[in-house]
């Protein structure tokens, strides 16, 4: 007698197997989820990768002007990146709020909340502008710039600060479009902005012989051009859906309140990375060199994982806004699988590309010897990082910012003593990276995973109560 069909045969204590039509429905549902995740994540990945290309273009062109100019750019860019990245919550909080309203099928409310986020970005950008411009020399000096690099750093910082409001508007407007389930427009704008930046830098630096100041002006104009395009898109959507464009004090305050926990989370993460760099510097020149290369690679890998997190923010927010709690849980489960799979793929790529990475980034054999085991640490922990990024995005999309802040503060408290013990116990850069990619990411996995399992993040409705 032939064996019974798997669709109908009993399976002992587990009861009858799932009917074939049910399995087919589940497969079709998973495929639909996968298509939606990819449709959001792939363009998001492109726009994420395009962002650092601004700095790369500036570095490539300014590098031909001289070492002092390039050193000045390095100092100014580090300060600017810190100022802007601190306010990345403008994108995250706006995405969650807008996506909830989209799920509730209230596009007018979605765009109105998005406009409140943009107004908040303008206010914060103006505050930064009037603060940074007069204090630029003191900031550069505090950063430890050399006497030859400092004038160039001050010049670039003062001019580029004029673009900070535009950069923050871009963050908020990107959040609006992500919440509207549109990650393609940000990709197109990012590519256009990068192209304009390269052309303007070439014109000002080489055509007009404006030096580092010309590079800064080219970048500022490109950033304001991107902001203008975003504003046109959002205003057009507001008119289509009858949304109010004028600022709402209540909406701006609500956006700021939602952003504070995410600000705490971001500052805690920044603190971890700064402490890690400070510890690496104490280990010696070879260790800090290996650390900087590893950190650059780790940041690059994070772009790929963050793209899935962005898809998670948009999908989870929409599901909860539509009162679809089960849909939100199902999307979370599927994206966790994507996180594990993406992390595993990146791990294989890191191992396979290890020899190339060593040759590409350094010719110093001592740095290579220090870097090789660090690459293995990064590779081994990529699946963990994949799940962490996904859960981070899920909880952001759910508007669970206060928990994210508490979880990151706890992670910071665990990481600091472990990192400070590395030089005390005679550990090297590999031990430091076990603290970064091992301890820190595992702590985040535990805290975020526990939250996901409790289901307390599943709060439905157009506005999170």
Query: Which tens digits make up the pLDDT trace of 38-63?
Result: 888 888 888 887 766 666 677 677 76
DSSP class of 455 = T
Read off the pLDDT of each residue in 155-181 and give the average, rounded to a whole number.
Answer: 91
52-61, 97-106, 131-140, 438-447 — which is least confidently predicted? 52-61
Bridge partners of 10?
Answer: 16
Residue 421 has pLDDT above 90, yes or no: yes
Residue 316 has pLDDT above 50, yes or no: yes
Read off the pLDDT of each residue in 337-359 and give the average, rounded to a whole number.
Answer: 91
Query: Which tens digits make up the pLDDT trace of 385-409?
Result: 999 999 999 999 999 999 999 999 9
Read off the pLDDT of each residue in 187-216 and give the average, rounded to a whole number.
Answer: 87
Query: How distant is the alpha carbon of residue 319 from its chain centre?
Result: 22
CB burial class (10 A; 0-12, 13-18, 19+) of residue 318? buried
CB 396 within 8 A of CB 95: yes
Q: What is the pLDDT of residue 4?
A: 39
CB 215 within 8 A of CB 85: no
Share of the chain above pLDDT 90, in %: 43
22-31, 113-122, 133-142, 212-221 — which is least confidently predicted? 22-31
Return the SS3 of 456. coil
371 membership: H or E segment, kind and range: helix 365-380
Q: How far apart are the first and last CA of the chain?
A: 61
Q: What is the pLDDT of residue 144?
A: 67
2 or 432: which leads in pLDDT: 432
Q: What is the mean pLDDT of the chain?
A: 86
Instruction: Taking the CA atoms of 104, 110, 116 and 117 in sequence, report the sign of the dihedral they define.
Output: positive
CA pair distance 379, 337, nearest whole angstrom: 18
1 or 284: which leads in pLDDT: 284
Q: Which of 251, 240, 264, 224 is nearest to 125 (CA)?
A: 224
> In whole angstroms, how far apart are CA 169 and each of 106, 176, 177?
23, 10, 12
Q: Which residues fall within 8 angstroms of residue 8, CB to CB, at 6 or more apart?
A: 16, 17, 19
Query: Which tens digits make up the pLDDT trace of 240-279?
Result: 888 888 888 888 898 888 889 999 999 999 889 888 888 8
Read off the pLDDT of each residue in 17-28 and give the average, rounded to a whole number.
Answer: 67
List the Cα angle 59/64/65 in 5-degree steps: 95
CB 171 within 8 A of CB 93: no
Q: What is the pLDDT of residue 21?
A: 63
pLDDT-derived band at 3, boundaries 50, 70, 90:
very low
Query: How distant is the alpha carbon of residue 344 from its chain centre?
Result: 20
CA pair distance 367, 389, nearest whole angstrom: 29
**What's the 3-state SS for 300-346?**
HHHHHHHHHHHHHHHHHHHHHHCCCHHHHHHHHHHHHHHHHHHHHHH
Radius of gyration (C-alpha) of the chain in whole angstroms: 24
CB 234 within 8 A of CB 118: yes
Q: What is the pLDDT of residue 7?
A: 39
- Give helix then strand counts, H and E, for the chain: 16, 0
CA pair distance 290, 370, nearest whole angstrom: 6
Read off the pLDDT of each residue in 218-237 and give the average, rounded to a whole number.
Answer: 92
CA pair distance 289, 273, nearest whole angstrom: 15
- How many residues appear in the chain? 465
The beta strands (E) that lie in 363-410 are given as none
CA pair distance 36, 181, nearest whole angstrom: 10
Read off the pLDDT of each residue in 26-48 and give the average, rounded to a whole number.
Answer: 82
Residue 15 has pLDDT above 70, yes or no: no
């Amino acid at each position: 007698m032939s064996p019974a069909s798997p669709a109908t045969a009993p399976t002992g204590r587990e009861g009858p197997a799932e009917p074939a039509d049910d399995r087919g429905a589940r497969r079709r549902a998973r495929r639909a989820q996968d298509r939606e995740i990819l449709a959001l994540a792939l363009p998001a990945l492109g726009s994420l990768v395009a962002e650092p290309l601004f700095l790369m273009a500036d570095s490539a062109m300014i590098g031909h002007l001289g070492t002092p100019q390039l050193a000045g750019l390095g100092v100014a860019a580090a300060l600017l990146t810190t100022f802007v990245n601190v306010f990345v919550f403008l994108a995250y909080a706006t995405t969650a709020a807008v996506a909830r309203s989209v799920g509730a099928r209230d596009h007018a409310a979605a765009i109105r909340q998005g406009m409140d986020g943009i107004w908040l970005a303008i206010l914060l950008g103006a505050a930064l502008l009037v603060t940074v411009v007069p204090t630029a020399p003191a900031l550069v000096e505090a950063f430890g710039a050399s006497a030859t690099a400092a004038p160039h750093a001050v010049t670039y910082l003062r001019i580029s600060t004029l673009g900070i409001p535009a950069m923050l508007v871009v963050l908020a407007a990107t959040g609006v479009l992500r919440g509207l389930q549109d990650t393609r427009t940000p990709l197109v704008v990012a590519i256009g902005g990068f192209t304009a930046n390269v052309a303007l830098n070439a014109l000002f630096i080489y055509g007009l012989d404006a030096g580092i100041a010309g590079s800064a002006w080219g970048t500022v104009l490109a950033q304001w051009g991107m902001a203008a395009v975003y504003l046109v898109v959002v205003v057009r959507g507001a008119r289509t859906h009858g949304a109010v464009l004028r600022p709402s004090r209540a909406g701006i305050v609500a956006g700021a309140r939602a952003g504070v926990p995410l600000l705490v989370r971001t500052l805690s993460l920044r603190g971890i990375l700064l402490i890690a760099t400070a510890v690496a510097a104490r280990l010696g020149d070879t260790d800090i060199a290996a650390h900087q290369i590893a950190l650059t690679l780790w940041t690059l890998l994070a772009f790929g994982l963050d793209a899935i997190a962005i898809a998670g923010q948009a999908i989870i927010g929409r599901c909860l806004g539509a009162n679809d709690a089960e849909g939100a849980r199902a999307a979370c489960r599927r994206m966790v699988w994507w996180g594990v799979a993406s992390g595993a793929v990146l791990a294989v790529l890191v191992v396979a590309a290890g020899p190339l990475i060593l040759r590409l980034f350094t010719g110093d054999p001592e740095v290579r010897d220090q870097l090789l085991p660090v690459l293995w640490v990064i590779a081994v922990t990529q699946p963990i990082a994949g799940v962490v990024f996904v859960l981070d995005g899920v909880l952001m999309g759910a508007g669970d910012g206060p928990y994210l802040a508490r979880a990151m503060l706890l992670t910071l408290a665990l990481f600091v003593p472990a990192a400070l013990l590395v030089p005390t116990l005679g550990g090297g850069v590999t031990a430091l990276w076990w603290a970064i990619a091992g301890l820190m990411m595992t702590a985040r996995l535990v805290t975020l995973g526990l939250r996901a399992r409790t289901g307390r993040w599943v709060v439905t409705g157009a506005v999170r109560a």
